[in-house]
């Protein structure tokens, strides 16, 4: 049996087992192409959280990283949530612990805590709002201006939100995603020099996002060609834009979907090495094993889930 035939056979088995178990397959935009192609719902963190909250499936197979599966489990305590590889973690989520947040809150007892969805369940449980890159600005704007804000854990997204909202009473945790932080201004400069007509799509977690915003405000980067967007909005923009070339400053996995949706356009990664190893851990074989053997069930302690759920539901309802 050839490799293509083997792959096709595994996909057929996955479809059969999904029917047997009344399962839904959710996948993030950074997953392997073969996982993206079989997903029932493909999207960014916000889209997947909404899908998890709305599904009537009995089993949710989450092709993403651990905090995403935790979020799905908290929204669906009566359902079985499976993460095909337990090692699929997140460097950004690891950049702040619940104890660190408790200490930070103690220093600012009246502050509202806004936690990026890339955090553990324990951190979410100590937060007032969760957010994703697509609605972080809307969430901060919904908070009364006289309220102090603690924004965590991504410093690049926090800087973007602060600049967009003009909130001076906003404190930002100094965390980062090691993959996005590795997309530096010089990478963007090099690719822009080679492709001067291309539109620039920048994820707000990127190390180049702050400089891109500054360069836009100074007129060095053209505002009509530079866009700070979540992964979901990058996909929407690339479909709607009349441009033929795009420089993409985020994890390279999203380019598969962009190219698939826009075969006549060209997508160039700002940094070809921007690959998240955690997002590439889940394979077709692991998805099949998860469905057949109930691997690996993700649960969250009831008390933690109850406290975190309000922050997550606020995230889903805004933006």
224 labeled part of a ligand binding site? no
133 labeled part of a ligand binding site? yes
Confidence of residue 264 (pLDDT cuts 50, 70, 90): very high
pLDDT of residue 78: 92
Q: Are 66 and 279 in contact (CB under 8 A)?
A: no
Higher pLDDT, 230 or 12: 12
Residue-wise pLDDT for 40-59, tens only, equals 999 988 788 889 989 999 99
Which residues in 104-127 are b (16+ Cβ under 10 Å) and which e?
Answer: beeeeeebbbbbbbbbbbbbbbbb
pLDDT of residue 50: 85
13-27, 83-97, 128-142, 200-214: least confident range: 200-214
Confidence of residue 142 (pLDDT cuts 50, 70, 90): very high
Segment 233-261 shows an average pLDDT of: 95
30 labeled part of a ligand binding site? no
- Please report, for the chain, the start and end positions of each structural domain, with discontinuous segments joined by +: 3-89+279-299, 93-177, 179-269
pLDDT of residue 185: 84
Residue-wise pLDDT for 217-231, tens only, equals 666 677 788 898 988
178 labeled part of a ligand binding site? no
Segment 247-256 shows an average pLDDT of: 95
Whether the predicted pLDDT of 138 surpasses 90: yes
Say if 3-89+279-299 and 179-269 have the same CATH topology. yes
* Rounded percentage of the chain residues whose pLDDT exceeds 70: 96
180 labeled part of a ligand binding site? no
Question: Right CATH number for 3-89+279-299 from 3.30.420.40, 1.10.3860.10, 3.40.50.10800, 3.90.1530.10?
Answer: 3.40.50.10800
Whether the predicted pLDDT of 1 surpasses 90: no
Q: Are 227 and 237 in contact (CB under 8 A)?
A: yes
Which of 62-76, 124-138, 279-293 is most confident? 279-293
Alpha carbon 92 to its chain centroid, in Å, reads 11
The whole-angstrom separation of Cα 234 and Cα 200 is 10
3-state secondary structure of 86: coil
The mean pLDDT of the chain is 92
Nearest-CA neighbor of 27 among 281, 305, 208? 281
203 labeled part of a ligand binding site? yes
Q: What fold is seen in the domain 93-177?
A: Rossmann fold (3.40.50)
Whether the predicted pLDDT of 212 surpasses 80: no
Phi, psi of 201 (to 5 degrees): -110, 120
117 labeled part of a ligand binding site? yes
Structure tokens at 318: 């805004």
116 labeled part of a ligand binding site? yes
214 labeled part of a ligand binding site? no
The whole-angstrom separation of Cα 14 and Cα 8 is 10
Q: Are 110 and 148 in contact (CB under 8 A)?
A: yes
Residue-wise pLDDT for 155-193, tens only, equals 988 998 999 999 999 999 999 988 988 888 888 889 989
Q: What is the CATH number of domain 179-269?
A: 3.40.50.10800
Question: Which residues, other chains included, contact 258 with Cβ-Cβ below 8 Å and sequence gap of 6+?
Answer: 234, 235, 238, 246, 248, 265, 267
Whether the predicted pLDDT of 201 surpasses 90: yes
108 labeled part of a ligand binding site? no
Helix (H) or strand (E) holding 137: helix 136-142
Q: Which residue is it, tokens 């959710």?
A: 26
pTM score, two decimals? 0.88
204 labeled part of a ligand binding site? yes
Confidence of residue 148 (pLDDT cuts 50, 70, 90): very high
């Amino acid at each position: 049996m050839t490799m293509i035939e083997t792959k096709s056979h595994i996909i057929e088995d996955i479809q059969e087992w999904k029917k047997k178990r009344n399962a839904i397959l959710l996948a993030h935009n950074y997953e392997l192409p073969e996982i993206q192609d079989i997903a029932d719902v493909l999207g960014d963190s916000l889209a997947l959280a909404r899908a998890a909250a709305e599904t009537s499936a009995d089993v949710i197979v989450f092709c993403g990283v651990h905090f995403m599966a935790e979020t799905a489990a908290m929204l669906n305590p009566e359902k079985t949530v499976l993460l095909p590889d337990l090692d699929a973690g997140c460097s950004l989520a690891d950049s702040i612990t619940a104890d660190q947040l408790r200490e930070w809150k103690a220093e600012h007892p009246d502050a509202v805590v806004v936690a990026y969805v890339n955090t553990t369940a324990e951190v979410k449980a100590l937060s007032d709002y969760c957010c994703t890159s697509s609605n972080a600005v809307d969430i901060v704007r919904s908070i009364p201006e006289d309220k102090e804000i603690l924004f965590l854990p991504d410093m690049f997204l926090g800087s973007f939100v602060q600049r967009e909202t003009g909130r001076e009473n906003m404190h930002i945790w100094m965390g980062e995603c090691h993959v996005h932080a590795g997309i530096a201004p010089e990478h963007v400069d090099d690719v822009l020099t080679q492709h001067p007509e291309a539109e620039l799509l920048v994820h707000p977690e990127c190390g180049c996002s702050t400089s891109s915003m500054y360069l836009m405000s100074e007129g060095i980067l053209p505002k009509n060609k530079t866009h700070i967007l979540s992964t979901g909005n990058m996909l929407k923009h690339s479909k709607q834009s009349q441009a033929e070339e795009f420089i993409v400053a985020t994890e390279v996995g999203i380019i598969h979907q962009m190219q698939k949706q826009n075969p006549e356009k060209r997508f160039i990664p700002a940094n070809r090495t921007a690959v998240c190893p955690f997002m590439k851990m889940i394979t077709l074989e692991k998805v099949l094993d998860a469905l057949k053997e109930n691997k690996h069930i993700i649960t969250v302690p009831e008390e933690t889930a109850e406290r975190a759920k309000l922050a997550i539901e606020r995230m889903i309802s805004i933006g």
